[in-house]
A = this chain, B = another copy of it.
Amino acid sequence: MFYHVQSLINPIVADEPDPSAANALQEGLGGQFGEMRTMMQYLFQSFNFRGDGVPYLDLIQGVGIEEISHVELISKTISRLLDGAPEYNGKKFETPGAGGKATMDMAKEQQNPHHFIVGAQGSLPVDAAGNPWSGSYVHDHGNLVLNLMDNLVLESTGRLQKCRIYQMSENKTLRATVAFLIVRDEAHQAAFAKALETLGVDWGKILPVPKFDSSKFPEVKRLLDAGIHREQYHFRLDSSMMEKIYSGPSPFNDGTELVTLKEPRESYPIPMAPERPEEFAPGLDAELQEMADALADFKDKMLNPKSPPATKSATKAAPKKKS
């Protein structure tokens, strides 16, 4: 059974909209090796798990739970990169197409016009070439060794593709999220490589994939310095045996140590996205808005939100907020 806090696993950093950066990032969300796939692959492997290897189950499932939060993060990053794109470069407009002006003219020239026609400047469950995500991406072989190997290939590809996407844009919104995912994919490579190490494999020096010094990417370096490439979280409200595997020397044979935690040390507020009249989003005209407002005092609560600001620990008896 699953739970949620309205917090992000990494902050959304502000920058200008950039629709083609948003489209490249779709690969990380809805691509064959993106977060939707990792999430569903690990959940299916967990739900169909056989035998009594609970530490292996808890490892796979724990990573899978994190991936839902990655889907959340990358989805919101794409949405932010698209948000307001028609007004980009100083263009402004107020009402949808009033007087017949083509206020979203730029939209039809973008990599994926669906971002503007189908979605309302939001993320889509598709890849960077516009192909919808497919259930055939999910591999659950029902064989523990093979699943671990497949997962290692998956995380390796994830990190490889994100390292390529990193080099495609200097947009800070994109970079903050991509850098975080590069680091987490390295932690997840460590998870599955370590699990195979417990069964006798010695990886030598081939990991992580790609093999290069990612601290050359400044946004990545800050995260490496904080050590989050060697942490794994289990996100379990009851308890987890993940640490039986995810601890001790890194399987990359580089002298580092793996650490299992319940959850990330920090979590971050979720920015509210503004209405976009040119997209008819959210679509409430004055009359309907009035009715929505009449949901008693909810606006009050908006002004005194209890929704989470940046928190140190997203959960506990009472989920603890960052002070």
Contact = CB atoms under 8 A, between A and B. Distances in A.
Given A105-B169, A199-B284, 8 more contacts: A2-B72, A30-B135, A47-B122, A53-B282, A96-B167, A142-B279, A143-B281, A201-B201
Nearest to A201: B204
Nearest to A128: B113
A263 to B, nearest CB: 8
B95 A2 contact: no
A301 interface: yes
Interface in A266-292: 267, 272-276, 278-285, 287-288, 291-292
Q: Report the interface size class on chain A.
A: 35 or more
A225 interface: no
Contact of A307 (B95, B126, B160, B238): B238
A298 B105 contact: no
A109 B111 contact: yes
Contact of A211 (B51, B68, B285): B285
A89 to B, nearest CB: 16
A19 to B, nearest CB: 10
B142 A129 contact: no
Contacts of A49: 273, 282
Q: How many copies does the complex hold?
A: 6
Interface in A196-238: 196, 198-206, 209-212, 216-219, 235-238
* Max count, chain B CB within 10 A of own CB: residue among A55, A157, A212, A292: A292
A126 B129 contact: yes
The 9 A-B residue pairs with the shortest CB-CB distance in the complex, in nearest-first order: A120-B142, A317-B317, A200-B204, A48-B122, A133-B135, A125-B135, A132-B135, A143-B283, A210-B280
Contacts of A152: 149
Given A211-B284, A272-B52, A2 B2 contact: yes
A6 interface: yes
Contacts of A31: 117-118
A191 interface: no
12 contacts: A3-B315, A5-B236, A44-B122, A47-B122, A51-B281, A97-B163, A104-B167, A119-B140, A125-B138, A141-B157, A167-B278, A211-B283
A241 B317 CA distance: 19
Contacts of A260: none
A288 to B, nearest CB: 5
